[in-house]
Amino acid sequence: MKTVVGVRFRNAGKVYFFEPGTYEVKRGTNVIVETARGIEFGTCVNDPYEVEDDKVVAPLKPIMRIASETDAKQASDNRLKEKDAYKICQKKIHEHNLEMKLIDAEYTFDNSKILFYFTAEGRVDFRELVKDLAGVFRTRIELRQVGVRDETKILGGMGICGRPLCCHSYLSDFVPVSIKMAKEQNLSLNPSKISGVCGRLMCCLNNEEEVYEEQNRKLPSAGDYVTTALGERGIVQSVNIFRETVRVLVQNGDEKEMKEYHADEIRFKKRRKKGKLELSAEELEQLKALEPEDVAELRAELSKPDQLKSDYEESVSEEVERPVKRERQERNDRNERADRNDRSDRNEQNGGNQQRKRNNRNRRRNRNNGNSGNNSNGNNSGNGGNSSNNRGGQNA
C-alpha cells in the first residue's frame, strides 16, 4: 500500500497523483511538484489516502514542498504574463499567414517553457513561427494542437441550461456520448438542441443515462402491447418514467378507452439491462424457462386455465420456438437446393448422353457412306480391268 494525494494544475484539469512524503497536506493545499514539463504549481484535490501498489503508475514522484506566499505570487504573475504572450503569438501568426486559431498560452511555474494551444483543420507547418517566438521569449516554446472539445474546456462559457459548461467547471475527462443516449432519454433529435457550445453532443447526456436506462427497462415503450391484471390487452400510448405510470388504449366492448396504470399493474416484456446484469430471483427463473429442454414445462404452465397469459410469456414462447422454426426452414431450404442441383446435374448428363448418341450416329452414317463409295469404285475398276484383259487376250 502507498499513500498518495491528487494534485490538479488547471481548473477542471486532469488529476495527477504524488507521494505526500513527510508533508502534512490536505484538500485545498497549494503545493510545488516536479512533472514531465518541469516545476509546477498545483492544488491538492483530496486528502492523502492509501492505494494498492499495482494501481499506482511508477514512478510516483514526491511533493517538493508546500507552496509559500512567494510561490503563489509567482504563479499569479505568470497568469499576467500569459496574456502578453498570447497577444505576441497572435501577432506572429498573422505575420506568417498561418491557418490556425490560437486558444491559450501557458507558462510553467519556473518559466522554463511556454505552451501555446491552437486549433486547425489540418496540419500546420509552424517551424518558422517557433523560431520567431523563441527569439522573442528566450525560452523553450511548445505549440500543441487540440480539438474543439478541448478548446471549449479551456475557454469556458455558458451552456443552454444557463449554467457554466460542465467540461470547464468540474469534468476532468471527456466521456463518450452517443445519439442513443438522447433517444433513451426521449429527447428531440434536433442537433441544435442536443449539441453543446463545441458543436458536439452535450456531455451532460451521460449524467442521467443510467437512471433513464434502468427506468426504461422497468417500463414498456410507446406502441407495445401489454396485458392488464384484469386480462385486458391494449397498446401503450405514453409513458411517464418518473411516476412509473403508463397510459394504455384498451378495447372495452365495441369502444376503445384510454386508461392509466401503474407499472406493477400491467404485464409486458422487460428490456434487458446493458452491461452487468443485476436480476432478481423471479427474473432468473424466467431466464431459465428460455432453455430448450424446459419448453414442455413452460407450455404446461401457460396452458393452465386460471393463469393469464401475458405478453411476456408469449414472447418467451416465441423465443423458444423461433430457433426450432429457423432450423427447420434452413433444413428445408438446403434440401430444396440439393434437389435442384441434382435435377440440373441429371439434365446436363442426359443432354450430354443424347449429344454423344447423335455424334456416334453421325460418325457411323459418315463411315457407312464412305465405305459404300469405296466399294463401288473398286468394283468398277476391277471389272474394267477384266474386260480389258479379255479384250487383250482376244486380240492376241
pLDDT of residue 231 exceeding 90: no
104 contact partners, CB below 8 Å, separation of at least 6: 82, 86, 116, 117, 154, 155
Span 111-115, average pLDDT: 89
pLDDT averaged over every residue in the chain: 76
Stretch 319-347: mean pLDDT:
69
Stretch 323-350: mean pLDDT, rounded? 71
Go through 289-300 and write b for each residue having 16 or more CB atoms within 10 A of its CB, e for each that does not: beeeeebeebee
> Who has greater pLDDT, 200 or 339?
200
Consecutive H or E run containing 109: none
Half-sphere exposure of 333 (CA within 13 A, CB side): 6
Peptide bond into 59 cis (omega under 30): yes
What is the reported pLDDT for 347?
65
Identify which has the larger pLDDT, 180 or 57: 180
Is CATH 2.30.30.30 the right assignment for the domain spanning 213-278?
Answer: yes
Provide the pLDDT confidence category of residue 390 given band limits of 50, 70 and 90.
very low
Mean pLDDT of 254-281: 69
Would you put residue 70 in left (φ > 0), alpha (ψ -120 to 50) or beta? Answer: alpha
Place of cell 507558462: 107
Of 91 and 231, the one with more pLDDT? 91
The residue ranges of every structural domain in the chain are 2-67, 74-146, 213-278, 279-346
The three cell numbers of residue 121 are 483543420
Handedness of CA 126, 132, 133, 135 (dihedral sign): positive
- Predicted confidence at residue 266, as pLDDT, reads 81
Helix, strand or coil, per DSSP, at residue 83: helix
Average pLDDT in the 90-99 region? 91
Residue range 114-127, pLDDT digits in tens:
999 999 988 888 88
Q: 229 vs 233, 281, 308, 309, 386, CA distance in Å?
A: 10, 21, 8, 11, 122
Strands 245-252 and 233-240: antiparallel
The pLDDT, as a whole number, for residue 232 is 80
Do 40 and 9 contact (CB within 8 A), yes or no?
A: yes
CATH architecture of 74-146: 2-Layer Sandwich (3.30)
**Residue 314: all three cell numbers together:** 408469449
Helices (H), the chain: 69-96, 127-137, 148-155, 166-169, 179-184, 191-194, 209-218, 281-288, 295-302, 311-395
- Contact predicate 40/108, CB 8 Å: yes
Segment 5-27 mean pLDDT: 85
- pLDDT at site 91: 92
Does this model's pTM top 0.75? My answer is no
More confident residue, 217 or 91: 91
Question: For position 376, what pLDDT does the model report?
Answer: 45
Q: What is the tens place of the pLDDT at every residue in 131-189?
A: 999 989 988 999 999 888 888 888 888 888 888 888 888 888 888 888 888 888 888 77
How do residues 284-319 score in pLDDT, each as one tens digit? 555 454 444 444 444 444 454 433 334 434 443 444
pLDDT score, position 182: 85
| CA–centroid distance for 261 within its chain | 36
Q: Which residue has the higher pLDDT, 215 or 104?
A: 104
Instruction: Please report, rounded to a whole number, the percentage of residues in the chain having pLDDT higher than 70.
Output: 76
Q: How far apart are CA 62 and CA 51, in angstroms?
A: 15
Q: With contact defined as beta carbons under 8 Å apart, do 32 and 41 qualify?
A: yes
416484456: which residue's cell?
Answer: 269
